[in-house]
Amino acid sequence: MMKVSKGYVRRIDKGIRKNMSDVILFDLDGTLTDSGPGIIKCVQYALNYMGKPEKDADRLRCFVGPPLHEEFMEFAGFTSEEADQAIEQYRERYSTIGIYENEVYKNIPELLSFLKQQGKTLAVASSKPGVFVEEVLRHFDLRKYFDVVVGSELDGSRTAKEDVIEEVLKRLKISKSRERVLMVGDRSYDVEGARACGLLCVGVAYGYGSKEELQNAGAVFVADTVEDLKVLAKKDEEETEKTSFYKSHPENHRKQQKARKTRGKVSWQRMIWDILSPMVVHFVCMLVISTLGVTIAGLFYDGNGQGYMEVITRFPWLSSILSAITALLVIFLLRSSYIVEKEKFHIKVKRWNPMMAAACMAASIGLGLVCTRLIDASGIRKIFERYTEIADHSYENQNWVLLVICIGILASLGEELVFRGLIYQRAKTYFDTGWAVGISAALFGIYHGNMVQFLYATGLGILFAVLYEKTGTLAAPVIAHMAINIFSIFYERMVDALIKRVRFGEPLLTVIVILLAAAGCYYLFFYQPDLSERSEKSHVG
C-alpha cells in the first residue's frame, strides 16, 4: 500500500486541499511523460542544421518544457527568424521520430485513474503544439482521462503558459471559478504561468526542474514522486491515511468513470438517441426519396404506378440517382452538426498526405476483396439466394460515369459523414475507442439491410473508423469508402479483361490487390520515415 507522509499533507492547508479535489491541470513533458530524450535529440538535429551543433545532451535539458522559440533564441543566440527556422527543423524530426522517443512515468496511469475515480476533472495544459500533445496522449492511452487538452498552435501562437491555461479555463467554462483549479508541472515556467492566471501550482521534482527551482517560483507543494501526487485527491488528513492508491484495478476505474459519465450527464435514452439519430436521419431521407422517386417514375411512364422492384428493373439507373439525391440531402441536413462536433471535440489532423490517401485506398480495396472471398467461402450467399441474385446484376445496364458519381462519390461521402463523422465520434464520448469503433461498424452493417452486406460492411466499417482515428481527418475514411465502391463498380470489367489475356485472371487480380493492400497497411500502421540519413547528408562538411 502506498502512503503519503503526514509531513507532506501538513504542508498544505485544508483550503488548498479542498481546491485540489475539483479541477487539476497537468503539464505534459516532465510531468506525465519523460519526453526529454526525444526533445533533446530533435534539438540537436535542429542545431546541427543551423550550424551550431551541441553534443552535450545535459546542456539541452533546458528545452524540455518551455516554448522552443524563446529557448532557441536564448541558448543559441538566434534571431527570431532563425529560431523559427530551427523550430521547423525540430518539428521535421519530432513529428515522425522524436514524438515516440518518450515514455510515461511509472504510476501515472494509476494516478490519473485514481483521480478520475475520485470525481476530479482533469485537463492538460502544455506549451507543446496541441497536435503533438494529442498524439502522445493517444499513443500511451492516456487521452481517455482528460476532459480537455490544450497546447500551442503550429503557427507559433499561444506558446506562453498563461495563454494555454486561459484556453483550458475557457473550454472548461470555469474562468470565473479559478479557486477550484490547480496546476501541476515540473518547471518554474509552469508555476509562474499558473500564478499569472491566479492559480495555485504543485511542482513535481521527478521531472526536469529541481525542488529549489519550483519552491523559489512559488509552488505551494513539491512532490518528489508520482505517488506523492495522491495528495491531490484528498480533502482531509484522515482520508489520506485510509485510502489506498491501488484500491482497484485501472480497468475498473475506467469502467466506473464511463458509467458515471453516461449516467450522470445524460440518460441512456438520450445517449442512444444521440448516437443513432444521424442514422435515423439518413434512413428517413432514403425512405422518402426512394418512395417519391419510384412513385413519380412509375406514374410518369405508365400512369398507373408500379411496384418498387418493377420500376427499378425497368429503369436501372434510377437507384443510383436516388442514392445520390439521398446523400446530398443528408449532407445538407447534417453538415452543420458535423462542424459543431468537430469544434466541440477539437478534432485535429494527425497525419495526412498523398501517400496516406493512397494507402487508405489500397487497404480498403484489399479488405473489401478479402471480406468478399471469406463470405463466398462460408456459403452464406447460398442461404440468401435472393440477395445474391440482385447483387450479381446490380450494376448491369448502367452508365459507369453515373455510377462513379452517384455510388462511388456522393453515396460514400454521405455515409461517412453519418457513420464516422457523427456516430463514431459521438460514441467515443460515452465509450472507449474500441467500443466506439465496434458500435459505428455494427450500425454501418445493419444499415445495409441484409446479412451478407452486414458482414461485409461491418468489416469495412471497422477499417474506416480505424483510419479516421489514425489520421484525425474524415477524408481518410471518405477516400477509402470511395475507393472500394468504385473498385466494386469496375471489378467485373477488370476480371473479364484479364481473363481474355491471362488464364487465371481473377486469382491474379486478387493477389495483386492483396499485395497492394498489405503495402498500404504497412505504410499506415508501421512505417515511420527515417530522417537520420537525411540529417547526415544535410550537414556533411
Across 33-74, the runs of DSSP E, i.e. the strands, are 33-34
State mean pLDDT over 447-473: 90
Q: Position of cell 472507449?
A: 432
User: Would the pLDDT of 390 be above 70?
Assistant: no
Could you list the active site residues?
27
Reference 424, options 282, 256, 265, 274; nearest CA is 274
Reference 143, options 161, 116, 171; nearest CA is 116
Distance, CA of 199 to chain centre: 30
Virtual torsion, Cα 132, 64, 525, 457, nearest 10 deg: -30
**Predicted TM-score (pTM) of this structure:** 0.50
What confidence category does residue 262 fall into, taking pLDDT thresholds of 50, 70 and 90? Answer: very low
Cβ proximity of 185 and 31 under 8 Å = yes
State mean pLDDT over 338-345: 69
pLDDT at 145 (0 to 100): 96
- Cα 302 to Cα 183, 292, 398, distances in angstroms: 74, 15, 21
Q: Which three cell numbers stand for residue 89?
A: 527543423
Q: Which three cell numbers stand for residue 82?
A: 532563425
H helix intervals, 404-504: 412-416, 425-428, 433-447, 451-471, 475-501
Q: What CA–CA distance (Å, rounded) separates 25 from 325?
A: 48
Element (H, E) at 171: helix 161-172
State mean pLDDT over 44-69: 87
User: Would the pLDDT of 33 be above 50?
Assistant: yes
User: Would the pLDDT of 368 be above 80?
Assistant: yes
pLDDT at 417 (0 to 100): 96
Q: Which three cell numbers stand for residue 445?
A: 452493417
**What domains lie within the chain, and their CATH numbers?**
6-33+103-263 (3.40.50.1000), 36-100 (1.10.150.240), 268-525 (no CATH)
pLDDT at 2 (0 to 100): 39
Q: What CA–CA distance (Å, rounded) separates 433 from 519?
A: 25
pLDDT tens-digit series, residues 19-29: 445 899 999 99
pLDDT tens-digit series, residues 264-286: 445 788 889 989 999 999 999 99
pLDDT tens-digit series, residues 165-179: 999 999 999 988 888
User: Would the pLDDT of 156 be above 80?
Assistant: no
Does residue 294 or residue 97 have the better pLDDT? 97
Lowest pLDDT segment from 314-318, 354-358, 437-441: 314-318
What confidence category does residue 9 fall into, taking pLDDT thresholds of 50, 70 and 90? Answer: very low
Q: Which three cell numbers stand for residue 9?
A: 499533507
pLDDT at 312 (0 to 100): 60
Reference 465, options 446, 483, 480; nearest CA is 480
Cβ neighbors of 448 (< 8 A, separation 6 or more) are 454, 456, 457
